[in-house]
Amino acid sequence: MFGQSDVLPMKVAGTHHIIERTYRESGSFQWVRETLINALQAKATRIEFGIEWQAVESRGVYRRTIADDGVGMSADELVGFFNTFGGGGKPIGGVHENFGVGAKTSLFPWNKHGLVVISWKDGQAAMIWAKQSEATGEYGLRVFEADDDEAGGQSLEAVVTPFRDKSSGCDWRSIKPDWMGSHGTVLVLLGNDPAADTVLGDPTRPEGDIKAIYLS
C-alpha cells in the first residue's frame, strides 16, 4: 500500500543510476534539445518554453513550463512514457520513446522534487507527477488519494485528472495555454525542492544566461 509521500517506481529497478550517469555525460541545455525533439515527434506545430505564473504570484517561485500542441497522451500512454526504459537502458514503447529516455535523463537529475506532465488527448486531460523517492533514490510516480465511487472510499492513483494543488501553489486545471486545442502536453519543472526556480535551467550548470525560448 502506498502513502501520500510514496512513489510508484519504474518497472525496471536501478534506472536512476543510468539517468544520472547519462546526464553527467551530456552538455548544457540538453533538456531544451530533448523536449524540443519530443514535441516535434509528437507532430507539434507550436512549442512554447514559458513560465508557470501561478507559483510566481503565490510563492515567488519561477518554474519553467514546456508546452506543445502535439498529439498528446492518454492516461495509459503517460504511464508508458514513464516506463520507457528496458533492462539495458534502451527505450521501449511507442511514439514517445525519445521523451521516455532523452527528456527524463536531461530533466530528472535537477528536478528531483518533481516533473509534472499534463497531457490532453481528444479533449481529455491526464496528469502524472514524476519525482525521486527520498527513501530509495529511485525515480517514480507520486501517488495521490482519489475518491473511489465504486468502493465508497478512497484509492491511490498515479495518474489523475488535473486538480487544484495548494501544496505547490498551482491549480493544474488552469495550466493549459489558451492557444492549445483538444490535444497537447505541458511539462512543469519543479526543481529539487518546492522553492526552486527552474526557469533558467539547471542551477549547477552554466545555463543562467538563457534567454527567452519561444517556438511557434
Digit-coded pLDDT (tens) for 134-177 = 888 888 899 888 765 555 556 788 899 999 999 899 999 999 99
The confidence score (pLDDT) of residue 85 equals 52
Quickly tell me which residue has 537529475 as its cell.
Answer: 109
What is the band of 24 on the pLDDT scale with cuts at 50, 70, 90? Answer: confident
Q: What is the pLDDT of residue 213?
A: 57
| pLDDT (0 to 100) of residue 101 | 57
Res 194: pLDDT:
95
For residue 212, pLDDT beyond 90: no
CB under 8 Å to 103, separation ≥6 — which residues? 31, 34, 35, 38, 187
Q: What is the pLDDT of residue 25?
A: 84
Question: What is the fold, at CATH topology level, of the domain defined by 7-215?
Answer: Heat Shock Protein 90 (3.30.565)
Better pLDDT: 14 or 65? 65
Strand partners for 65: 50, 188
**Residue 103 carries which side chain, given as an amino acid letter?**
A
Residue 110 pLDDT > 90:
yes
- Spatial separation of the C-alpha atoms in residues 48 and 206, rounded to whole Å: 22
Model confidence at 9, pLDDT cuts 50, 70, 90, reads low
Q: Which residue has the higher pLDDT, 44 or 18?
A: 44
pLDDT value, residue 4: 45
C-alpha cell at 194: 518546492
Per-residue pLDDT tens for 32-72?
988 998 899 899 999 999 999 999 999 999 999 999 999 99
Give CA separation, 123 vs 69, 118, 129, 204, in Å: 12, 12, 20, 38
Per-residue pLDDT of 69-108, as tens digits, reads 999 999 998 888 777 653 333 444 443 444 445 788 899 9
Mean predicted confidence (pLDDT) in 173-201: 96
| pLDDT given at position 31 | 92
Which residues lie below 8 Å from residue 178, measured CB to CB, with a gap of 6+? none
